[in-house]
């Protein structure tokens, strides 16, 4: 088995610099050798679109309620190409963020190759916004919403947003991301194909969409009520009940974890996953045997003191090795 390690130091989906430091720190601390020790062949992919040339706040807003959408969209397209081709080669695309807007790219790429992919979204937030409902305009709050069937208002389309024309039905095609022909549609996600774990800060419009589309979620309330063990059994069973061989994609936002354990991230919300719960989520998904692609996002070492930054990056590494098969015994 081969894992493709894809550094994607995107910052433009949210307002802080420093979110671009995650991939380099994870690499420096030895992620590639940790993965080879777990039995993976490691295919190191060059950084996607490099570091941000300017601070995320100094770039012009787009005409849509989607800040920096051409930069976010172009970055996501480049990542989509890589995740698409690596998926086609049967590899495990593992994307290191960067802010969570990159998952628009990783998921689109994976879904184009493996349309029956089921998604586990581990996050304090639902990231189910679109420019038509977002309160902040920050695109790290939109990767699920932009791909989800039923989230785009009647008469609108994601492909009309600046930078996202590669998701439009009449996309002309370019190297690595061909036109949609022979009845192929741009990649989308069915509401029944995702499970949220760890939610505790959800916007009003997102909440209404979760209810009306009947999206499966386990919030922190549910984790307290059922325990993380039951929550993960139910999550896996929800995604695999109709197709036990279905590929799974795990999108892990480090802000799902309690700020006591993971302070170095942009939008901390108290009352999150404990240290062990954070591991268990990854361990249980690894144990399903279906995990085929993943992201780890929103590490920002500049947003806490040195100890906090180090602890957050170390936790990130442990979550990554857990999802890639490391077990306690």
Q: What is the 3-state secondary structure (H, E, C) of 25-47?
A: HHHHCCHHHHHHHCCCEEEECCC
Catalytic annotation, pick one of 20, 78, 99, 127: 127
Is residue 127 flagged as an active site residue? yes
Catalytic annotation, pick one of 20, 78, 222, 253: 253
Q: Considering beta carbons, is residue 56 or 141 the nearer one to ligand DIR?
A: 141
**Which are the contacts of 241, defined by CB distance < 8 A and separation ≥ 6?**
none
Q: How far is the CB of 19 from ligand DIR (least distance, A)?
A: 11
Q: How far is the CB of 198 from ligand DIR (least distance, A)?
A: 11
> Of all residues in this chain, which one has the CB nearest to ligand DIR in the complex?
141
Give residues 174-203 in contact with Mn ion (rule: CB under 5 A): 201
Q: Considering beta carbons, is residue 124 or 239 the nearer one to Mn ion?
A: 124
Q: Do residues 255 and 268 make contact, with C-beta atoms less than 8 angstroms apart?
A: yes
Give residues 160-219 in contact with ligand DIR (rule: CB under 6 A): 203
Q: Do residues 183 and 203 make contact, with C-beta atoms less than 8 angstroms apart?
A: no
Q: What CA–CA distance (Å, rounded) separates 80 from 262?
A: 28
Q: Considering beta carbons, is residue 220 or 236 the nearer one to ligand DIR?
A: 220
Site string for ligand DIR, 105-144 (x = CB under 6 A): --------------------x-x-x----x-x-x-xx---
Q: How far is the CB of 329 from Mn ion (least distance, A)?
A: 32
Q: Considering beta carbons, is residue 35 or 80 the nearer one to Mn ion?
A: 80
Q: What CA–CA distance (Å, rounded) separates 243 from 245?
A: 5
Residue 193, sorted as left (phi over 0), alpha (psi -120 to 50) or beta, turns out to be: alpha
Q: How far is the CB of 284 from ligand DIR (least distance, A)?
A: 22
**Which are the contacts of 177, defined by CB distance < 8 A and separation ≥ 6?**
77, 80, 81, 84, 166, 171
Q: What is the CA radius of gyration of the chain?
A: 18
Q: Under the criterion CB under 6 A, does residue 100 sit at the interface with ligand DIR?
A: yes
**Which are the contacts of 281, defined by CB distance < 8 A and separation ≥ 6?**
120, 122, 197, 198, 228, 232, 252, 256, 273
Is residue 298 flagged as an active site residue? yes
List residues near Mn ion by CB under 5 A: 100, 123-125, 127, 201, 253, 255, 267
Q: For binding to ligand DIR (CB under 6 A), which residues are involved?
A: 100, 125, 127, 129, 134, 136, 138, 140-141, 203, 253, 267
């Amino acid at each position: 088995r081969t894992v493709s390690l894809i550094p994607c130091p995107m910052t433009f989906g949210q307002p802080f610099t420093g979110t671009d430091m995650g991939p380099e720190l994870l690499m420096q601390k030895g992620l590639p050798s940790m993965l080879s020790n777990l039995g993976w062949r490691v295919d190191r992919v060059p950084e996607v679109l490099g570091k941000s040339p300017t601070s995320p706040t100094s770039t012009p807003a787009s005409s849509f309620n989607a800040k920096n959408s051409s930069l976010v969209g172009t970055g996501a397209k480049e990542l989509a190409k890589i995740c698409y081709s690596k998926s086609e080669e049967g590899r495990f695309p593992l994307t290191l963020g960067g802010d969570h807007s990159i998952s628009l790219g990783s998921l689109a790429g994976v879904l184009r190759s493996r349309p029956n992919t089921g998604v586990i979204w581990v996050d304090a937030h639902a990231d189910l916004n679109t420019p038509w409902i977002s309160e902040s305009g920050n695109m790290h709050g939109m990767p699920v919403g932009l791909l989800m069937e039923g989230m785009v208002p009647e008469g609108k389309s994601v492909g009309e947003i600046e930078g996202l024309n590669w998701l439009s039905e009449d996309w002309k095609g370019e190297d690595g991301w061909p036109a949609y022909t022979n009845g192929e549609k741009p990649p989308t996600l069915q509401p029944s194909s995702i499970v949220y774990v760890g939610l505790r800060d959800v916007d009003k419009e997102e909440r209404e969409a979760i209810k009306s589309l009947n999206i499966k979620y386990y919030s922190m309330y549910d984790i307290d009520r059922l325990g993380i063990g039951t929550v993960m059994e139910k999550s896996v069973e929800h995604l695999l009940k109709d197709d036990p061989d279905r590929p799974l994609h795990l999108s892990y936002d480090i802000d799902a974890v309690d700020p006591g354990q993971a302070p170095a991230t942009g939008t901390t919300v108290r009352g999150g996953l404990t240290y062990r719960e954070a591991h268990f989520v990854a361990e249980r998904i690894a144990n399903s045997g279906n995990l085929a692609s993943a992201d780890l996002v929103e590490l920002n070492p500049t947003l806490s003191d040195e100890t906090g930054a180090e602890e957050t990056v170390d936790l990130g590494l442990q979550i990554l090795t857990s999802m890639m098969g490391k077990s306690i015994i």
